[in-house]
Every structure is written in C-alpha cells, then in structure tokens.
Amino acid sequence: MFGSAPGDTSGSGGRGKILRVVGVIRRVAGALLRHAPLGPEQRRLLLSVRACRTPALGGEVLFCPHCGQVKEVFHSCRNRHCPNCQAQTQDVWIAKRAEAMLPVPHFHVVFTLPSQLRALCRVYPRPMYDLLLRSCGDVLVELGEDVLKAQLGVTIVLHTWTRDLSYHVHAHCIVSAGGWDRAAQLFRPVRRKGYLFPAARMKAMFRTRLLRGLRGLVQQGVVTLPADITFPAIEASLPDTKRWVVHIEPPFGMFQHVLAYLGRYTHRVGISNSRLHDVTDDEVTFATRDGKTCTLSHDQFTRRFLQHVLPDGFKKIRHYGLYASGATQHQAALAALPQPPPPSTPQDHPDTPRLDSSDTASQTAPREPIWRERRCPNCGVPLVLFIQMPRPPRLPWRPP
C-alpha cells in the first residue's frame, strides 16, 4: 500500500508523464549526502525533499464508501526551499499583504549585486544578503524623503538565481508610486507619471551604501577577507557607478495586481516543475529564456539548486517605510486614499506584467486540497478517513 511518493515521476518525459524537480533531486540526494561538502541547511533540504509526501512523514489513508477506492495522502516536509511546499504559503502571504498594501500603482525596481562580491556571499551569506536588502531599502526610503518629501511603501524580496539556476544575487523591490507627507497630512504621488527617481542617483547611492556597509562588516570582524586581499583592492575591482545595475520598471496596475505579480517572486524556489522539458536516466532538460533550454546532469542540476538555499531563519522578504512593521503613518495614508472597487481577476488586467507561459501554468494549476475536501475520482463521493499516520516529531535521517 505504501509505495513511493505520489507524483515522483522523473524518468523519460514521454507523453502524459508528470516531471517533478523533487524526482530529479531524489536520484542523487544519497550520493550528495555521503560525499559532497554541504552546509547544514543544504543537508536538511536534501533530507526533507527525500521524505516529502512519503510515508516517512505520516499521512492519511482514505477510502470511498461507495466504490471502495483507496487513496493515500502523505504529509509535506514544509521546507521553504522544497518545490512541493510553497503554493499554500504563497497564498497565505498574499492574503495578509493585501491588508497592508496602499491602493496605488507601484514601481518594480531591481538592484543587482556586482559579480565581484558573489564570492563573499557564498562564504558569508547571512551578513551579505542582509546588507544588500538593507542598502536597497535605505536608498528608496531616503530618496522618497528627499525628492517627494514623503515616506514611501517598499517591499523587497531577495533572489539568488537566474533562469539556468546560476548564482546571481539581486533584490526585487515593489515601491509605491508616492508616499505620505507627514507635514501636510496628505498622500503625495510621484511628480511625473511613470517616473520614480533618477537612475544615476540611485546607482550612486546604492554603491555608496553597499560599500560603506561592507567596510563596517570587515572592521567588525563579521566578514573576514583573504590575507592577500584588502578592502581598497575590492573597492577598486568594482565597476564604476554607471555600470551598477539598477533596473526600474514603470508602475503597473493597482495593488491587487502588484500582489499577484509579487507573489510569483516571494515564495518561488529556483525552478518549478512546469519548466522541466525532459528527464532521462542521466540528464534533465529545462526551459530558460526566450524559448531556449538548458541540459544538465542530475548531479549538476541538484548542485545548482542547492546553492540557492538560504541560511536558517533568514528573512528574504523585508518591508520598509510605510510597509515596515509598526509604521506610524501607514494607517493615515491608507485612510486618506480612496478605496478601490472590487478587483478584477489579476491575470486579466492589461497592465499586469506577463511571465513565461511555463511560470503562469505553474501558478494557475489547481492545487491539491486537504483530505477532508477530497472526493473520489471515480464517483465523486467524499472520501472517508480510514487510517491516520501521525507526523514524526523529527525528520528521519534515512527516509525511505
């Protein structure tokens, strides 16, 4: 009765096959756990993925009282990096943030960490990621106070991957198109439609704050440089201000559509099942960008996936300005703005940015409900709990 995890298909991608990222990872997880130099978070993820939705984590056995159909439902691992376990968490986050978002258009700003600093991120991920997010938030909030004389609402999400799972550290920022003027007690919109701040000034401020913060980390001993490298040498190796990457997209839609768009970034892992094109016994092929694909061995694929595991307890979503926890002016700004009409379907809004069709498919795919809502696939009668297997207090070290 208790076989492998449901939907763990990772063989040849023939017609009708369901290809899953966890199936690829499970093939090489054992070898990596035994031989690869992994951090504790990476080891925990491999163990979690191996056990996710298998009998090792408990579950329920359901049956149909009408036709006798039996169905097994196993618990998920709840690891935030597991490709199986983020859909419900994303929905909860979007519902919660909908109460805090201002009903105004929002800009999308992307800050990219220079490639010369990626090596430090690999060795010191927590302080370096924290420095990146803090620098982005400080730049946006300070520019809002200086240019608009108002406090903006800013939400920032850390990303570390590209479409081919390479290591590329950057931050996605959603910025309100205006802010709360405390002195005048009114909401002050951006001065020009579709224009936030001068890109050159944002780049210069981003570079200054990042380097200032990095110097502080080095002086405090939080980040230790190699013996043959000095901080001035690192600063000299960085590109000039004009070549720092700060990308600004014009406002799109209202806050409901911002949330639908941002939700695709908040709880997404490096790759979704919908991007897998083919999985053989040795290789995996997945979509990248502009119709192109990338083919890697299972070991290479899993190693690239593991380099995006964040430190335990690290918060990759940060809020600044009006969106910060305990912001005193948030309620005043919310009350001063006209309440929008009931939202239309976000995907149908003409201003909502479009992702690749593979990403859209993964977001719109029906999600499996909990067992109490499940019905028999044969006759539609509600399934009845037959056996309940409790979740173990700890993740098994050697799951089946």
Tens of pLDDT, residues 116-166: 999 999 999 999 999 999 999 999 999 999 999 999 999 999 999 999 999
Q: Please answer whether residues 251 and 194 qualify as being in contact, where contact means their C-beta atoms are separated by less than 8 angstroms.
A: yes
- Answer yes or no: do 243 and 291 share one domain: no
Sign (positive or negative) of CA dihedral 201, 202, 204, 209 = positive
pLDDT-derived band at 355 (thresholds 50, 70, 90) equals very low
Q: Are residues 279 and 196 in the same domain?
A: no
Residue 121 sits in the same domain as residue 163: yes
Weakest-pLDDT range from 143-147, 177-181, 192-196, 373-377: 373-377
Residue whose structure tokens are 């031989």: 35
Domain count, the chain: 2
CB under 8 A, 24+ apart: contacts of 36-44 = 36/303, 38/306, 39/309, 40/312, 41/309, 41/310, 41/311, 41/312, 42/306, 42/309, 44/79, 44/395
Residues 275 and 225 in one domain: no
Residues 197 and 166 in one domain: yes
Same domain for 186 and 241, yes or no, is: yes
Pair 255, 202 in one domain: yes
Calpha distance 326→324 (Å, rounded): 6
- DSSP assignments along 233-259, one per residue: HHHHHSPPGGGS-EEEE---S-HHHHH
- Give pLDDT, residue 167: 96
Same domain as 336, residue 243: yes
Domain that holds residue 183: 87-270+309-364
Q: 119 and 245: one domain? A: yes
Shared domain check, 159 and 67:
no
Q: How confident is the model at residue 340 (pLDDT cuts 50, 70, 90)?
A: low
pLDDT on residue 391 = 78
267 confidence band (pLDDT: 50, 70, 90): low
| Co-location of 221 and 292 in the same domain | no
**Do residues 321 and 172 both lie within one domain?**
yes
